Structure 1
Amino acid sequence: MALEQRLMDVERRIAEACARCGRDPGSVNVVAVTKYVSAAAAKRAVEAGMRHIGENRWPAAEEKWRLLEGRAVFHYIGSLQSRKVKDVIGKFDYVHSLDRLSLAEEVHKRAEALGIRVPCFLQVNVSGEDSKHGLAPEAVPAFVSSLGKLPGIRPVGLMTMAPIVDDAEEARPVFAGLRKLLEEINGMSLSDEPLTELSMGMSGDFEVAIEEGATWVRLGSVLVGHEENDG
């Protein structure tokens, strides 16, 4: 399937998922995960109308960033090491994987040095899998409170990764759990601004994630493919 056809198919599936739960399709943002494709393929994705690009390592993303700077919004979607913060902050517009205070402090320091505020999603390990990064759900309120002392960070919402399952319905409790946690956090008034965003759902389960409130879905194989020459 050609790239433009894939995009149309994804847009159709998003619209159908939104219709099932009474949402406006415009409330769902798509991050095209380009980490498995070349810079040329990422450029074609942007030219096809994809505005948001997701990458998880700076060395692999650098060529794409230089090619598409000013033409795309870059999202850092992988686990971020504190020593790599200097490479990421100032280049990526969003960070989806803030999951510990030491990392938050480094992001804040770099942001202050650059005179910016960085929109960040707090990564939560809702499923409790040992293989997943993220805060335990019960640790999120204290973490949100601690961010009030780090003005270089603008917490915008929560992010999670569901287990890889054959039936997307099995991931629904994870997505519902993140939505419920967001509501609970906002009810506690722990930050100056409410957290409004939910980054959840990938190629195999994004429709279920949308039905449970996702405002950002991260799509790779279903949208831009995996091969360097794909698209």
Structure 2
Amino acid sequence: MLKDNLKNVEERVQEACDRAGRKREEVTLIAVSKTKPIEMLQEIYDENIRDFGENKVQELCDKIEKMPKDIKWHMIGHLQRNKVKYIVGQVALIHSVDSYRLAEEINIQAKKKNIIVPILVEVNIAHEESKFGISEEDAIQLVEEIAELENVRIKGLMTIAPYVENAEDNRLYFRKIKDLSVDIAAKNIDNVSMEILSMGMTGDYEVAIEEGATMVRVGTGIFGARNYNKQ
């Protein structure tokens, strides 16, 4: 079943790329594996998926230990400063940086390991009170502040769009994130690139791709509905 789910998602990603006149390799599909058992991750890994996303540090660390070493792990959930030390150097990308203090802690831990850590700045584009992320209005200032940190590199932006019945309702938000990334890129800030736009989930990733997403985070579409009872 997972293989069929993945095939369906891959086909829809390709179709969205075609509609937008984009190449398929411009979009990275991240399999969001939170709450899912290792067996399911392994099944998707065996279908040549190498990018996996997790929300919780403990679960992420457990899975890193048990899964093959060539996986690129993405931290996509809210990250507390006291947990940063566990994932710096372990993940390919931290998507959810929404404050200078968090970036500063990542920088401290990166210096200890003598590495450069790539991050995305999370923007709460729809101003939802229930979600983390910096406001669109404050994003450029935050990017400029984080850019001063020696061992952190901003690679782009991330957003979690509202939950909607109709994916078209989120097109405006994806477009706003794309526009914001263009504005930031135009400032030519040292240590900052806007090559990554992490946006779009199971319900709206096709629209996100049409609006410029370079990473889409698909969980339910691949693994099926989440089972939180096992937590």
TM-score bracket relative to the smaller structure: over 0.9
Corresponding residue number in structure 2 for 1:6: 5
Aligned-residue Cα RMSD (Å) equals 1.3
Deviations 1:90-139 (A, max 9, x none): 21221000100100100000011111111101000100111111011111
| Aligned residues of 1:37 and 1:226 also touching (Cα < 8 A) | no
Name 1:223's counterpart in structure 2. Answer: 222
Partner-residue secondary structure (3-state), 1:223: helix
In structure 2, the residue matched to 1:146 is 145
Equivalent residues of 2:27, 2:213 under 8 A apart: yes
> Where does the alignment leave 5 or more consecutive residues of structure 1 unmatched?
none
Gaps of at least 5 residues in structure 2 are: none
> What TM-score, normalized by structure 1, do the two folds share?
0.94
- Look up the match of 1:195: 194
State the 1:30 CA deviation.
0.6
Partners of 1:98 and 1:4 lie apart in 2 by 32
| TM, length-normalised to structure 2 | 0.94
Q: Which amino acid aligns with 2:120?
A: F
The answer for the alignment partner of 2:39 in structure 1 is 40
Partners of 2:160 and 2:43 lie apart in 1 by 27
Shift of 1:173: 0.6
Q: Deviations over 1:177-199 (max 9, x none)?
A: 00000000111122344311100
Correspondence list, 1:148-163, <5 A: 148-163=147-162
Moved over 4 A (4+): none
Which secondary structure state, in structure 2, belongs to the residue aligned with residue 7 of structure 1?
helix
In structure 1, the residue corresponding to 2:184 is in which secondary structure? Answer: helix
Q: Distance in 2 between matches of 1:193 and 1:181?
A: 14
Q: Is the 8 A contact 2:161 2:200 kept in 1?
A: yes
Distance 1:124 1:49 in 2: 30
Residue 160 of structure 2 aligns to a residue whose secondary structure is coil
State whether structure 2 residue 163 is matched by structure 1 residue 173: no
Determine if contact 1:3/1:48 at 8 Å carries over to the other structure. Answer: no
Q: How many equivalent pairs are there? A: 227
Aligned equivalents of 2:152, 2:68: Cα separation in 1: 22
My pick for the range that moved more, 133-142 or 184-193, is 184-193
2:210 is aligned with 1:204: no
